[in-house]
């Protein structure tokens, strides 16, 4: 496993990942990490996200809540489109009149090109490229305790590399995913003719491990950022940070799951605090948000709780068995697919055949998936027939 993770990190350094877009992800992503898999053609994914923190000070309580909805659509076998409006953001100081409240907040527009295959040191890997734009539509930008953003539209470019223990059925085995990315915050001001000149930009990275079961999935993410050029002194969040997030996901039924994670900050490193009117500020200039004591987080809170509800409904292009159509016995489809599928070794040997082109592999994988679905339907029909015969 150590060798495999090292390979992912090494080849990830050759790619870029969606920097600011590592928040509130849709599709097959975790909270902060993309996978190399895109949604199947015609598949729609709806992910509701919520991230929250609260604490207390000598002056009173302080809280910060953000919510978003990610809508993802599989446009083709290799292309996924996504729009993610941040529908709610609330920074609240109970001891002060000042409240930062955005409803709606900004919007992410994303495009991913994924499901591509390659082999490194006899290991089959998947990779993807993606780009995103964060459009400014909120009343307040540059919010204390939130990742840095401006009143301008921001650009992110990126990619992801994934290793799957079961390449044929990626969701049925352990996997490792690595992202590395670059974000242009486009804060050069009105005088900046080139959006790439004299602007804040940073790298963001993440490494995730997933271990799914029939109903439960355990995962962990290690992620953070590194400013290549720090934001202006008026920015509240100017620090590089490193986080770890353990989490768990539970599949309520086919097509719907609930995921929870706890962000724990391991490190943050930023410039010294600005002193204004006798009060220490988190690198900002607004006196009403002054950090008057150590009770107030410097840049980020020590922890944050994250919650996600993911739903895959049927569309005019793709039917999905949902809770109203799936019988309890079909919850064992994982075991059923294990019996009718090929082994990991067979899949690796097949992918390594020299006479297999990328296009041919994609076509054959689609055929195998179709045959698998037909086999599952036939087994389900036979099971129902046996039940009927026994009841007679």
Which range scores top for mean pLDDT: 239-248, 315-324, 325-334, 339-348? 239-248
Provide the angle, in degrees to the nearest 10, between the axes of the packed helices 333-340 and 358-391.
120
Please report the pLDDT score of residue 4 as a whole number: 47
Whether pLDDT at 13 is above 70: no
pLDDT tens by residue, 46-97: 999 999 999 887 777 888 999 999 999 999 999 999 999 999 988 887 766 5
Could you identify the residue written with the tokens 């993770």?
A: 5
- Cα 325 to the chain's mean position, in Å? 29
Average of per-residue pLDDT across 236-248? 92
> Comparing C-alpha atoms, which of 135, 123, 86 is closest to residue 7?
123
Distance CA 263, CA 183 (A): 22
Distance CA 392, CA 388 (A): 6
Range in 49-58, 250-259, 380-389 the model is least confident about: 380-389
- Cα 283 to the chain's mean position, in Å? 28
pLDDT tens by residue, 24-35: 998 889 999 999
**pLDDT band per the 50, 70, 90 thresholds, residue 247:** very high
Average of per-residue pLDDT across 91-116? 82
Please report the pLDDT score of residue 328 as a whole number: 46
* For the chain, domain boundaries: 2-311, 328-391
Between 206 and 363, the higher pLDDT residue: 206
Neighbouring-strand partners of residue 223: 206, 243
Please report the pLDDT score of residue 291 as a whole number: 60
Architecture (CATH level 2) of domain 2-311 = Beta Barrel (2.40)
Please report the pLDDT score of residue 331 as a whole number: 44
pLDDT tens by residue, 274-329: 545 555 444 444 544 456 667 778 889 999 999 999 998 877 777 766 554 444 44
Distance CA 336, CA 379 (A): 9
Token digits of residue 151: 């009143």
Between 276 and 127, the higher pLDDT residue: 127
Question: Considering the chain, what is the average pLDDT of its residues?
Answer: 78
Whether pLDDT at 250 is above 90: yes
Token digits of residue 274: 């600005």
Please report the pLDDT score of residue 326 as a whole number: 45
Could you identify the residue written with the tokens 């590399």?
A: 161
* 370: Cβ contacts below 8 Å, ≥ 6 apart: none
> Comparing C-alpha atoms, which of 69, 82, 88, 145 is closest to residue 109?
82
Whether pLDDT at 342 is above 80: no
Q: What is the DSSP string of 32-94?
A: S---SPPPPTT-EEEEEEEEEEEEEETTEEEEEEEEEEEEEEEEETTEEEEEEE--EEEEEET
Average of per-residue pLDDT across 362-384? 75
Average of per-residue pLDDT across 127-150? 88
Distance CA 1, CA 119 (A): 16
> Comparing C-alpha atoms, which of 286, 388, 358 is closest to residue 118?
358
């Amino acid at each position: 496993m150590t060798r495999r993770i090292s390979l992912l990190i090494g080849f990830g350094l050759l790619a870029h990942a969606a920097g600011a877009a590592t928040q509130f992800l849709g599709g097959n992503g975790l909270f902060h990490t993309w996978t190399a898999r895109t949604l199947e053609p015609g598949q729609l994914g709806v992910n509701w996200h919520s991230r929250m923190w609260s604490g207390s000070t000598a002056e009173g309580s302080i809280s910060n809540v953000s919510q978003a909805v990610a809508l993802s659509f599989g446009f083709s076998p290799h292309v996924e489109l996504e729009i993610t409006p941040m529908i709610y953001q609330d920074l609240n100081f109970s001891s002060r009149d000042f409240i930062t409240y955005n409803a709606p907040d900004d919007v992410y527009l994303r495009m991913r090109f994924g499901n591509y295959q390659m082999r490194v040191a006899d290991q089959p890997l998947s990779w993807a490229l993606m780009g995103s734009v964060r459009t400014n539509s909120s009343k307040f930008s540059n919010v204390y305790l939130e990742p840095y953003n401006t009143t301008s539209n921001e650009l992110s470019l990126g990619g992801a590399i994934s290793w799957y223990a079961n390449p044929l059925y990626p969701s049925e085995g352990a996997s490792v995913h690595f992202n590395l990315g670059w974000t242009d915050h486009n804060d050069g001001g009105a005088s900046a003719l080139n959006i790439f000149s004299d602007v804040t930009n940073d790298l963001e990275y993440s490494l995730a491990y997933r271990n799914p079961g029939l109903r439960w999935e355990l995962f962990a993410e290690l992620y953070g950022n590194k400013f290549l050029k720090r934001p202006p002194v008026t920015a509240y969040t100017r620090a590089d940070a490193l986080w770890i997030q353990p989490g768990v996901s539970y599949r309520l039924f086919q097509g719907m799951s609930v995921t929870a994670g706890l962000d724990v900050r391991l490190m943050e490193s930023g410039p010294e605090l600005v002193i204004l009117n006798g009060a220490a500020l988190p690198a900002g200039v607004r006196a009403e948000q002054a950090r008057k004591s150590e009770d107030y987080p410097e840049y980020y809170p020590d922890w944050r709780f994250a919650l996600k509800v993911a739903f895959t409904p049927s569309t005019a292009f793709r039917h999905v068995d949902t809770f109203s159509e799936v019988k309890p016995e079909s919850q064992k489809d994982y075991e059923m697919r294990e019996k009718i599928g090929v082994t990991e070794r067979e899949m690796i040997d097949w992918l390594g055949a020299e006479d297999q082109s990328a296009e041919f592999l994609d076509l054959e994988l689609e055929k195998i998936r179709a045959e698998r679905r037909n086999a599952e339907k036939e087994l389900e029909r036979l099971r129902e027939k046996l039940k009927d015969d026994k009841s007679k």
